[in-house]
Amino acid sequence: MKAARLYDYDPKMNVQLKIEEVKAPTITAPDEVIVRVGAAGLCRTDLHIIEGVWKPTMDPEGTLLPYIMGHENAGWVEEIGSGVRSVKRGDAVICHPFRSCGICLNCRHGEDMYCDNGQFPGLGMNGGFAEYFITSERSLIKLNANVTPIEVAPLADAGITAYRAAKRAAKLLRPGSYCVLLGIGGLGHIALQSLHAISGCRIIAVDREPAARVLAKDLGADFILDGGPNVIEEVSQITGGGAHVVIDFVGELGVENICWKMVRKGGQLFVVGYGGNINVPTAHLVIEEINIGGSLVGNFTELVELMELNADGKVKMHYTEYNLASINTALDDFKNRRFTGRGVIVP
């Protein structure tokens, strides 16, 4: 099969994935499923993988490369293991990004991302920047009628990551309260739609890119800011003292030390983007009683819920399509923010 493989890490990202013929995956366990890839989303994590940020976690011994990235996958079932019962060849599916075991206590609690024995296709093992990839039956969700893989592939990670953060935020947001979304890219534009669907809050969208602000307006943000030097004061003026919830989808480039200053007394900051370091005086935490927490991808049930919102037309992915042969162009466009929403790779 054709696949795009990473051969070297480079903090400056002066490397390219190589398109080449490799051996297709084969079934080795009763619960495994081979998926013919219909589309695979590009994620900022893919850039961080190339930079080597994830090497200590996913490749500590330095033996992984070359390998196939791609962890936002949807397609059609090609082959099933002997124990698979819930899907059959030809079924259109979206793949939860984490292959959880289903039997550890964290899985029993429904938190797939906390699994003690999980595997992550695209991070530490071959993923979906190829014609086929292998996952487990437990990871698959059948697509609703009239939904195609290319329309939803990035929802497998970007989508549920944004939805989980929005769902956690919605529990804290009464009608009339304020939520700031920092970054209206692949995740932020999904969070904006999700909040509209499950919360009555007022949404403040912040992004420095004009195209992202246009997208935020099209999706119905109540207030749209350009993230300039006065953004903290602008948020305070709009909200009357700070937002009830702030969700940071950037997590670096200085944004990580602006976001917490937008939170009102007793408010909540959810950090989704990563790469930087947050420096908050402990006195501020105590006096303002703000809460700061991370939000990691999402569980299987949350992906099911998101797919229902998608099928109902309430949450849609805005994407730019690239073929597998153009994946290096797609990565460069992504790095330089030449498209809004998400990039999607089609074999």
Query: Across all residues in the chain, what is the average pLDDT?
Result: 96
Q: Determine contact, residues 170/277, Cβ cutoff 8 Å.
A: no
Using alpha carbons, select from 127, 107, 128, 110 the residue that is nearest to residue 118.
107
The verdict on domain 2-157+298-346 having CATH code 3.30.230.70 is: no
Residue with tokens 């466009």: 333
Check if 2-157+298-346 and 159-294 are the same fold.
no
From the number of C-beta atoms within 10 Å of its C-beta (0-12, 13-18, 19+), residue 250 rates as: buried
Mean pLDDT of 6-14: 96
Q: What is the pLDDT of residue 95?
A: 98
The sign of the torsion formed by the CA atoms of 9, 13, 18, 22 equals positive
- pLDDT tens-digit map of 301-327: 999 999 999 999 999 999 999 999 999
Q: What is the pLDDT of residue 343?
A: 96
Q: Determine contact, residues 251/273, Cβ cutoff 8 Å.
A: yes
Residue ranges of the domains in the chain?
2-157+298-346, 159-294
CATH number for the domain formed by residue range(s) 159-294: 3.40.50.720
Q: Determine contact, residues 223/206, Cβ cutoff 8 Å.
A: no
- pLDDT tens-digit map of 85-127: 999 999 999 999 999 999 999 999 999 999 999 999 999 999 9
The pTM of the full predicted model, rounded to 2 decimals, is: 0.95
Q: What is the pLDDT of residue 213?
A: 97
- pLDDT grade for 145, boundaries at 50, 70 and 90: confident
Q: What is the pLDDT of residue 89?
A: 98
Residues 6 or more apart whose CB falls under 8 angstroms from that of 218 comprise none
- pLDDT grade for 279, boundaries at 50, 70 and 90: very high
